[in-house]
Copies of this chain bind each other. A is one copy, B any other.
């Protein structure tokens, strides 16, 4: 169990034929708790998919009741028809949840309409996919999905995957309350969120403002510091739902730290499963004049293709690190910087230091440390190497 580990939630995952592989592709998480609250963070890309446009409105309407997620199609740049598909999907969920609750198949139209305004929608897959067949497969199968909802469900995490090779889940056990989470994402990982969909649930008793503050703090230091390939998605959404079912109101900082831990775990899982990667690279920037400077420096390296290709070749090419960070506006002297790979300082004070053959880059886990000597702030940016498999996976299929 993941998103149903906290009390007050049901979930389900089914197969409706959106993926050519025949794998599960439609998931639903429902908040049945006595004190529902929610917070959502969206992609900062201006090119936004229809489910993002819809969910942004839902997020304004008060606590979300449910989130439905499909893989196998992004429903992005699919025109007015695509937006209508999203609305019909949310209405179908609202209808079926109401019918299930009352035992009556007939549900008043205004109940459906109002209920739909509390249903978040997430989609992931190929941009431009969202035709009549896509709509029909989702909308006509919502009754099956709702009837599959269970408080001990284990099927939802698989149904949101695309090119992911493994399910990503995380759980935190608090004192009398818990957090559960599931995520998908294996490419287009960039700050401002990635091609990731994340649903996090908790039975803690917190209001939506408290959830929102904690979620923004957590994503800022986890998903926003993951930059696998520099490409920002149109469909990213991180949803946090609280049921209040535990009756326990955790201290604000305790909950925020726990949530940050869950998000950090998911971010590490996303990094470890990035498309085609052979190295998970943590770029630790120290001695920065500000956190912002540390992040700018870290991201300039994370997005440098020559650096990323060198790591693939197990080449600790510190010159490419310096060439990358020299493009930033961060405060530091390029000739005073130290650069270490996996603990071996290869560049010191603008000149070569230890011999590069002392550095072993064969382990998948790679640590690059950049000491700027410009202040006392630090940040770590996660990225991956640039590999033949990355090129293959992103050229041989459309996504």
Contacts and interface: CB of A to CB of B under 8 A. Distances in A.
Contacts of A192: 327
Contacts of A303: 230, 303
Contacts of A306: 187-188, 229, 231, 394, 399
A288 B126 CA distance: 27
A178 to B, nearest CB: 35
Contact of A310 (B230, B315, B395): B395
A351 B47 contact: no
A324 interface: yes
B391 A323 contact: no
A373 to B, nearest CB: 15
Interface string A182-205: 000001100010000000000000
Contacts of A312: 391, 395
Contacts of A126: 319
A323 B188 contact: yes
Given A313-B396, A323-B233, A351-B78, A47 B305 contact: no
Nearest to A328: B46
Interface string A36-64: 00000000111110000000000000000
Contacts of A349: 79
Interface string A121-137: 00000111000000000
Nearest to A351: B79
A179 interface: no
Interface stretch (A261-269, A364-372, A382-390): A382-390
Contact of A319 (B74, B229, B317, B391): B74
A46 B328 CA distance: 8
A247 interface: no
A290 to B, nearest CB: 17
Contact of A231 (B78, B304, B328, B391): B304
A327 B191 CA distance: 11
A168 to B, nearest CB: 21
A388 B394 CA distance: 11
B128 A323 contact: no
A172 interface: no
A377 interface: no
A325 interface: yes
Nearest to A333: B46
A76 interface: yes
B77 A350 contact: yes
21 contacts: A45-B323, A47-B322, A47-B334, A77-B322, A77-B350, A126-B319, A127-B322, A128-B318, A188-B306, A192-B327, A229-B306, A230-B304, A231-B304, A231-B305, A231-B324, A232-B326, A233-B323, A305-B305, A309-B391, A315-B395, A388-B392
Closest 8 CB pairs of A and B: A127-B319, A47-B326, A313-B395, A79-B351, A309-B394, A46-B326, A45-B326, A47-B334
Given A315-B398, A388-B392, 12 more contacts: A47-B323, A77-B322, A77-B347, A78-B352, A126-B319, A188-B306, A230-B303, A231-B305, A231-B306, A309-B394, A387-B391, A391-B391
